[in-house]
Amino acid sequence: MQTTIISSPVGVMTVLIAVVSFWFWLERATRWKLFEYLPPLIFIYASPVLLSNLGVIPFKSGAYDFLRHYGLPMFIVLMLIKVDVLGAIRIMGKGVFVMLIGSVGVVVGGVLAYMLGQSIQWAPYFPLPEDSWRAFGTLAGSWIGGTGNMTAAHAGLEGSAEDLTMAAAADQMVYLIWLPILLGSKAFAERFNRWMKVPANRIAQMESAAAEFNEKEDSPNMISLLYLGLLAIGFTWISLALSDVLPPVVIGGATVITAGTWLILLVTTFALIASVTPARRLPAAQPIAMAIIYVYVARVGATMDLSDASFATMGAFVMMAYVWIAIHGIFILAGAWLFKVDVHTVAIASAANVGGAASAPIVAAHHRKTLVPASILMALIGYALGNYLAILTGRIGQLIGG
């Protein structure tokens, strides 16, 4: 049995929240360039890894179970009730469909990269185990939606801490290459638009629609917070109850939908239904959701036992991730050619996939500042799709791997 300095669930929870708070405080207080390349998420995940492996906090705790069973579903509800698909379509028009094609590219690319990783004889230098489909599905969640989808897919696919470690490492390694490409594409705007035969008035139409978009939130009050709590806890309760009674789905001898998968799919569906009701106008849902998910990321890091980690496997996975992002890029360009959209839209669409709500506004501000609100809406569409498509990516890999 592991002996730790802090063992009580409330103490462990305090440590996790303190870790998240510290790294965001440090980023804002110092403005170090380091955080432009390695965002706080990396340190929020890595710090509990060190704390648990040094014996400060345990690998197993009731706090972790609480976050897994209740915190993650509540995050999904709070994040997805803000999705506004129609608002994004009004501003970006066909650009939304380019983003959706990019999402399909993530699914296809993930499956192909997994197949390639299984077919190449890496061992004994770069072993990529058959169950690495869990890591591929986890990373697909990040590349379709964002950090929240990555953690939700990881839970839905019942991945290990090492799976999330590989996904998070590959996510950042690819991000360091892909983000400069998306930003640098602005320099080729005129040539790209001529090549794709983009209508001359497309950008003017987008900016006109963006000027009419007004998405201001009121300050939260006690009543609105109570409504948010009711939705988050109520949908979590219903989804947990249904996931316990719904039967598992077995295909070809492989269980592709377990109780954990049902939970993620159900709570995602309920939240999206709520997003077309006045619940979408409730303020403060997103900041509360993001606070929950960063604590959850710290929780996953705390369960990572470095004595069981395989850094050779991580290297092979990162290599396949570069193959994967190239396939996504091909799909994005195919969508741009099909729908004749400008390079600004293409870059924002890809950023909404690969970078999520954190990166899409950065790319949008660099290309066309008026499109920043639309980039956030597109990223939220990725959040809406991410759980479904990421789990699908992983389960296809599971079926392929036998």
Q: What is the pLDDT of residue 308?
A: 62
Sign of the four-CA dihedral 298, 299, 305, 308 = negative
pLDDT above 90: residue 92: no
Among residues 131, 135, 396, which one has the least CA distance to residue 257?
396
pLDDT above 90: residue 274: yes
Q: What is the pLDDT of residue 152?
A: 92
Give per-residue pLDDT as tens, 25-83: 999 999 888 887 777 888 998 899 999 999 999 999 999 999 989 999 998 899 889 88
CB-based contacts of 177: which residues, under 8 Å, 6+ apart? 322, 325
CA distance 67 to 326: 35
Place of tokens 């050619």: 337
Element (H, E) at 250: strand 249-251
Give per-residue pLDDT as tens, 53-66: 999 999 999 999 99
Q: Give residue 387's Cα distance to chain centre.
A: 8
Q: What is the pLDDT of residue 213?
A: 63
pLDDT above 70: residue 222: yes
Is the separation of the CB atoms in 70 and 243 below 8 Å?
A: no
Provide the H-helix boundaries in 93-247. Answer: 95-119, 133-144, 147-156, 161-184, 189-195, 202-212, 222-245
pLDDT above 90: residue 95: no
Task: Output the average pLDDT for the chain.
Answer: 87
Domain residue limits, the chain: 9-211+222-401
Structure tokens at 51: 């704390």
Counts of helices then strands in the chain (DSSP H, E): 19, 2
Q: What is the pLDDT of residue 25?
A: 96
CA distance 21 to 102: 34
Is the separation of the CB atoms in 59 and 2 below 8 Å?
A: yes
- What are the DSSP calls for 132-176, one per residue? GHHHHHHHHHHHHT-HHHHHHHHHHTT--HHHHHHHHHHHHHHHH
Give per-residue pLDDT as tens, 179-200: 889 988 988 888 888 888 888 7
Give per-residue pLDDT as tens, 246-261: 999 888 777 888 898 9
Question: Within 13 Å of residue 372, how many CA atoms lie on the same side as its CB?
Answer: 9
Give per-residue pLDDT as tens, 293-344: 889 889 988 988 777 656 667 888 999 999 999 999 999 999 999 998 899 8
Structure tokens at 145: 């939606």
Q: What is the pLDDT of residue 266?
A: 94
Element (H, E) at 318: helix 311-339
CA distance 252 to 103: 26
Sign of the four-CA dihedral 171, 173, 176, 178 = negative
Mean pLDDT of 209-231: 82
Q: What is the pLDDT of residue 376?
A: 80
Please, what's the b/e burial string for 266-301 (b: 16 or more CB within 10 A of its CB; e: otherwise)?
bbbbbbbebbeeebeebbbbbebbbbbbbbbbbbbb
Model confidence band, residue 271 (pLDDT cutoffs 50, 70, 90): very high
Give per-residue pLDDT as tens, 116-166: 988 875 545 556 777 899 999 999 999 998 888 999 999 999 998 889 888
Give per-residue pLDDT as tens, 334-378: 999 999 889 989 999 999 998 887 778 878 888 887 787 778 888
Of the two residues 214 and 153, the one the predictor is more confident about is: 153
Structure tokens at 208: 């006109």
CA distance 375 to 215: 13
Q: What is the pLDDT of residue 94?
A: 84
